[in-house]
Amino acid sequence: MAGTLASEPESIEAYLSAHDSKSLLRFITCGSVDDGKSTLIGRLLYDSKLVFDDHLSALEVDSKKVGTQGDDLDFALLVDGLAAEREQGITIDVAYRFFSTDTRKFIVADTPGHEQYTRNMVTGASTADAAVILVDARKGVLTQTRRHSYLVSLLGIKRIVVAVNKLDLVDYSMEVFARVEASYRAFAGEIGLNDVVCIPISALAGDNVTGPSAHTPWYEGPSLLGYLESVPIDDDQPDGPFRMPVQLVNRPDPEFRGFSGRIVGGSVRPGDGVRVLPGNRESTVARIVTAGGDLDHAITGQSITITLSDEIDVSRGDVLAGMASPPGVADQFEAHVVWMSDDEMLPGRAYLLKMGAKTVGATVAKPKYTINVNTLEHMASTTLMLNEIGVCNLNIDQPIAFDPYSENRDMGGFILIDRLTYNTVGAGLLHFALRRSDNIHWQAIEVSKRAHAELKGQNPCVVWFTGFSGAGKSTIANLVEKKLHGLGHHTYLLDGDNLRQGLNKDLGFTETDRIENIRRAAEVSGLMVDAGLIVLVSFISPFRAERRTARELVGTGEFCEVFVDAPIEVAEERDPKGLYKKVRRGELAHFTGIDSPYEPPLNPDIHIDTVRTSPEEAADRIITELRRMGRLRPT
Q: What is the DSSP string of 211-251?
A: S--TT-TT--S--HHHHHHHS----SSSSS--EEE--EEEE
Say which amino acid occupies 23.
S
Q: Give the torsion sign (CA, 548, 550, 551, 554).
A: positive
Cα–Cα distances in angstroms (integers) from residue 300 to residues 303, 403, 503, in the given order: 9, 16, 51
Burial of 578 (0-12, 13-18, 19+ CB in 10 A): exposed
Terminal alpha carbon distance of the chain: 90
With beta carbons less than 8 A apart as the criterion, state whether 249 and 316 touch: yes
Which residue from 55, 58, 63 is spatially nearest to 97, judged by alpha carbons? Answer: 55
Q: Are 319 and 327 in contact (CB under 8 A)?
A: yes
Cα-to-chain-centroid distance, residue 275: 27
Cβ-contact 625, 606 below 8 angstroms: yes
Q: 629 vs 105, 253, 276, 489, 606, CA distance in Å?
A: 62, 40, 40, 15, 12
12-to-8, 34, 98 alpha-carbon distances in Å: 9, 41, 20
Give yes or no for a cis peptide into 200 (omega within 30° of 0): no
From the list 449, 457, 411, the residue with the least C-alpha distance to 430 is 411
Longest Cα separation, the chain: 96
- What is the length of the chain? 635
For 467, what's the count of Cα atoms within 13 Å in the CB-facing half-sphere?
28
Q: By the 8 A CB rule, do 500 and 635 touch?
A: no
Contacts of 37 (CB under 8 A, 6+ apart): 29, 30, 31, 91, 110, 111, 113, 134
* Active centre residues (catalytic): 541
Nearest 10 degrees: Cα torsion 542, 545, 547, 552: -170
Report which secondary-structure segment, H or E, holds 632.
none
DSSP label of 130: E
> CB atoms < 10 A from the CB of 137, how many?
23
Question: Cα 123 to chain center, whole Å?
Answer: 10
